[in-house]
Amino acid sequence: MKNKKSRIVLVGGSTWTPGILKAMTTHLNEFPIEEIKLYDIDAGRQEVIGEFAKILFKEEAPDVKVSYTNDEAEAYKDVDFVFCQMRTGGFDMREKDEKIPMKYGVIGQETCGPGGFAYGLRSIRDMVQMVNSVRSYSPDAWILNYTNPAAIVALALDKIFPEEERVLNICDQPVNLLRSFASLINYDANKLEPVYFGLNHYGWFKHLYDEEGKDRMPEIKEIILNGGFRPVDAEQRDQSWLDTYAMVEDMLVDFPDYLPNTYLQYYLYPEYKFSKSDPNRTRTDEVREGREKKVFEECRRIVENGTAKDSTVVHNDAHGDMMVEVAASIFHNLRKTYVVMVRNNGIVSNLPDDSMIEVAASLSINGPQPYAVGPIDTFYKGLIESQHAYEKLTVEAYIEQSYTKALQALTLNRTVVDAKKARKVLDALIEANKDYWPELK
């Protein structure tokens, strides 16, 4: 079974794509590949990444067929996996997602608050079209979705395709955190067994068991409270990410029960996070000037020189490793454990069954088999139920083209809470997204 080779299409020309491609070359023993196709509607970005991919695989895996295309039929035909990481509207719309809310005193963030709301309403349309197209050309393909905001996308796809069993929404932040937690105790992150609950970008680690069954979380919490917290790959991170990880200590001081996902800071401390933000320079500017520029310059240099062997910029990381390892666990029935998004259906017994929760699950040829969490305490239940209501109303606003539900969603969001402010932000976002959103009535 492990000798069986897969056929993959990568959708979207993300700055993370070179790292995913590199991860594929380093995981070929456990995940043999027959063919890789890259698909993007942006021909300029696609050509840079596509030519880089051809050089990388020619040098490291010459038996793998590599191509890139802007044709949907060619991309999706006869594939086993669709790795999806599209960004509807590109960085230009991301910049508006982040900067428009700040004009009204609200956090501007890619996946949280009004920015995530705007991005979500844009993403749903293209994700639904993508699922329909994939099913036309490859009925049995697995769709592994990294497209943000994953919580809203996952809920929308579950509602629109309730019988769909081969779409798996995943996020690399839990595994990024696992790697960083493990480094604090000099332990192999792959040998830590997590108990995790929540929604995407809105969850907590309840336990972290080692191979002997000992919960290492108390030890990790003590280290963070006494010495702070940094990502394991801190030298590769922009300053905003270092600041983000540092906030884990603050969250532990206030809420010491569990280890939090870093994104919770935007919901728990919205006023503080807003006060530390620059409305004229957001994360989009940082990415454009940093990672975006660096990755594409490196890919162009590799294409010009005809070799990737001397590259120190392109490497596999948690993002690429997880995407490939998840596919391998499904394709080869390895039953490895990952934190993924699934319909609740009693997994967290006192949360709504229709919520798309993020929990640890065994991944096999039949998909995710999630591990039960049981009931959660009142504080966490209240936070999650409110966030789920916001996400559900956002999806319903899209499907029903409802202005009222969109306003309800933003009013519920913990980064906004004030209805008059929510209306001002919503109206500004409607104007900015008129080419992407359905008309809200």
Q: Catalytic amino acids?
A: 172, 263
Q: How far apart are CA 273 and CA 120, in angstroms?
A: 21
Sequence-distant (6+) residues with CB within 8 A of 343 are 158, 353, 354, 355, 356, 357
Instruction: Of 90, 93, 98, 116, give the one whose Cα is nearest residue 280.
Output: 98
Residues β-bridged to residue 41: none
297: amino acid identity, one letter: E
Cβ atoms of residues 36 and 10 within 8 Å: yes
Which tokens is 231 given?
């990502």
The β-bridge relationship of strands 142-145 and 81-84 is parallel
In eight-state DSSP terms, residue 278 is B
Look at residue 215 and give its three-state secondary structure: strand
DSSP string, 363-379: EETTEEEEPP-----HH
In 10 A of CB 41, how many CB atoms?
A: 14
Measure the CA–CA gap between 306 and 58, rounded to whole angstroms.
Answer: 10
Nearest to 13 by CA among 80, 71, 90: 90
* Strand ranges, E, within 222-377: 259-260, 336-343, 356-364, 367-370
Alpha carbons 262 and 180: distance in angstroms, whole number: 12
Helix (H/G/I), strand (E/B), else coil: 190: helix
| CB-count burial class (<10 Å; 0-12, 13-18, 19+) for 233 | middle
Could you give the CA distance from residue 102 to residue 408 in angstroms, rounded to a whole number? 19
Cα-atom radius of gyration of the chain, to the nearest Å? Answer: 21
DSSP string, 349-410: TTS-TTSEEEEEEEEETTEEEEPP-----HHHHHHHHHHHHHHHHHHHHHHHT-HHHHHHHH
